[in-house]
Amino acid sequence: MNLALSEEQEMLKTMARDFLADKLPKTAVKEMEESEEGYSAELWKEMAGLGWMGLAFPEKYGGSDMSFLDLAMLLEEMGRACLPGPYFSTVVLSGFTILDIGTDEQKDEYLPKISSGEAIFTLVLTEPSANYEESGIETKAIAEGDSYVISGTKLFVPDANVADYMLVAARTDKGITLFIVDAKSPGISTTVLKTIANDKLCEVVFDKVKVSKDNVLGEPNQGWPEIEKIIQRAAVGKCCEMTGCIQQALDMTVEYAKDRKQYGHPIGSFQVIQHYCADMATDVDGTRLSAYQAAWTLSEGLPCAQEVAIAKAWAGEACPRVMALAHQIHGAIGVTIDHDLQYYTRWAKAAEVSYGDASFHREVVAKEMGL
């Protein structure tokens, strides 16, 4: 047992932290949040140039052959920086899925495009039922000759407004099937929702969208177990981002508590404030430990259902506790729109409900316990 990061991981983390601190001041985050696209194409190119898109993909697909655990380090720093944009959708939700279950042709065609930053992908899964259950999928794909025809409404789809390709989950005759769909296909219409994180969650309506049978991803009708793996991977990825998010909130809060004076003393010298900060630190460390454990287990290819569920259930409860105390300690300045803290507050709330909230994952743990 060993909790230390490898030298490579340390380097990756430091490099990512420095790069994002330099390129992504909160004014830039604000610009991205307010833009139509929700990201900066320029920054996207630079990230691709650093090899971030293909970090964990094999070299033959333009990647760097590193592991999911290595990627987890990067995600933590992205959470720390509140990076907006379609990285998570493209790499975590889509790239890994293609790598996992795509045909050789599909991998050859799409993965290099992801690694180079040329294409943006997203996962089109959830619907107005707003859950991560198989029964929540009503969008239909009906076989017609060499094609399928997809019809239905998807909701809470991240980054569909800028995606070049979509991995779409739809109900086929005997189960759920995943498709790789060109986002420019006729019949797809996308509307951006207004969200707490100011990210680009969309409603995507499929009106008789024709997709070639060659674009089925994985086995027809066998998509649900694969989607469960996608949700698992996404949940771990989110936990890593959440770790970075609340670590930064804690760091900002501690700095503030050292600077801010009341009654002639820094407020950080008062026991109540110290105890709040200690509570925050305990939550942050628990979140990190469990996120790393889940990321490591998944990365090693070991069964990880319990580890993932524990990490996400924990993070889902720890984040709001940490953010509540961050605000309490920052006082009124922290609830102003010009203060950086609000980016984390809003982002953390969205992360909490994404890819299974705490009660969703508690039920997974209950099952794993044999209850």
Partner 1 sequence: MDFRLSEEQEKFRQEVSDFLEGEIKQGLWEPSCDAWIMGHNPEFTKRVSRKGWIGLTWPKEDGGQGRSYIDRLILTEEMLRYGAPAACHWFADRQIGGAVVHYGTDQQKKELLPMILKGEAYVGLGMSEPDAGSDLASLKTKATEDGDDFIIDGQKTWTSGGNNMNWIYLVARTDPDAPKHKGISEFFFSTDLPGISVAPIEDITGGVHFNEVFFENVRVPKTCLIGVRNKGFYQILNQLDYERSGMERLMANYPLFEALIQYTKETKRNGKPLSQDPLIRSKLAQLKIGLEIGRMHMYRVAMVMDEGRAPNWESSMSKVYGTAFEQRLAGTAIEILGLYGQLSPKSKNVPMRGMAYHSYLSSKGYSLQAGSSEVLKNIMAQRKLELPSQ
121 near partner 1 (CB under 8 A): no
How many residues are given for the chain? 371
Give 132's DSSP letter.
S
Which residue, 213 or 275, is less far from partner 1 as judged by CB? 275
Q: Indicate the residue among 41 and 324 with the shorter CB distance to partner 1.
A: 324
Q: Identify which of residues 25 and 303 has a Cβ nearer to partner 1 in the complex.
A: 303
> In the chain, what is the straight-line distance between the N-terminal and C-terminal CA atoms, in Å?
29
Q: How far is the CB of 139 from partner 1 (least distance, A)?
A: 28
Site for partner 1 in 196-255 (CB under 8 A): 254
What minimum distance in Å lies between the beta carbon of 294 and partner 1? 9
The tokens describing 294, both together, are 């889940």
**Phi, psi of 183, deg, nearest 5:** -65, -15
Segment (H or E) for 252: helix 223-259
CB of 312 to partner 1, least distance (A): 10
Of the candidates 132, 165, 314, 343, which one interacts with partner 1 according to CB under 8 A? 314
Q: Are 243 and 288 in contact (CB under 8 A)?
A: yes
List 190's β-bridge partners, or say none.
Answer: 204
Smallest distance, partner 1 to C-beta of residue 130, A: 19
Q: Output the smallest distance, CB 233 to partner 1, in A.
A: 17
Output the six-digit token pair for 309.
């569920």
Contacts of 337 (CB under 8 A, 6+ apart): none
Phi-psi map region of 37: left, alpha, beta (phi>0 left; psi -120 to 50 alpha):
alpha
Least Cβ distance, residue 331 to partner 1 (angstroms): 16
- How far is the C-alpha of 347 from the C-alpha of 70, rounded, in Å? 23
Which of residues 182 and 363 has its CB atom nearest to partner 1 in the complex? 363
Residue 310 Cβ vs partner 1, minimum distance, rounded to whole Å = 5
Asked if 2 interacts with partner 1 (CB under 8 A), we say yes
Which of 27, 105, 337, 369 binds partner 1 (CB under 8 A)? It is 369
> Measured at the alpha carbon of residue 56, what is the angle toward residues 51 and 60, in degrees to the nearest 5?
80
Helix/strand/coil for 55? coil
- What is the rounded CA–CA span in Å between residue 38 and residue 216? 29
Binding mask 337-366 for partner 1 (x = CB under 8 A): ----------------------x--xx-xx
From 2-10, 76-84, 104-112, 208-216, give the range in contact with partner 1 by CB under 8 A.
Answer: 2-10
Q: How many residues bind partner 1 (CB under 8 A)?
A: 43
Residue 238 phi/psi, 5° resolution? -60, -45
Tally of CB atoms within 10 A around 78: 25
Q: Using CB under 8 A, which residues numbered 61 to 80 contact partner 1? A: 69
How many Å apart are CA 290 and CA 311, to the nearest integer?
Answer: 5
Give me the least distance between CB of 367 and partner 1, in Å please.
9
Q: Is 135 in the site for partner 1 (CB under 8 A)?
A: no
**Residue 150 beta carbon to partner 1: minimum distance, rounded to whole angstroms:** 34
Distance from C-alpha of 123 to C-alpha of 98, rounded to nearest angstrom: 11
Site for partner 1 in 255-294 (CB under 8 A): 257-258, 265-266, 268-271, 273-275, 277-279, 281-282, 285-286, 289-290, 292-293
Instruction: Report the nearest approach of partner 1 to the CB of residue 256 (Å).
Output: 11
Counting Cβ atoms within 10 Å, is residue 96 exposed (0-12), middle (13-18) or buried (19+)?
buried
CA dihedral of residues 196, 327, 241, 157 (deg, nearest 10): -10
- Interface residues with partner 1 (CB under 8 A) are 1-6, 9, 69, 254, 257-258, 265-266, 268-271, 273-275, 277-279, 281-282, 285-286, 289-290, 292-293, 296-297, 310, 313-314, 359, 362-363, 365-366, 369, 371
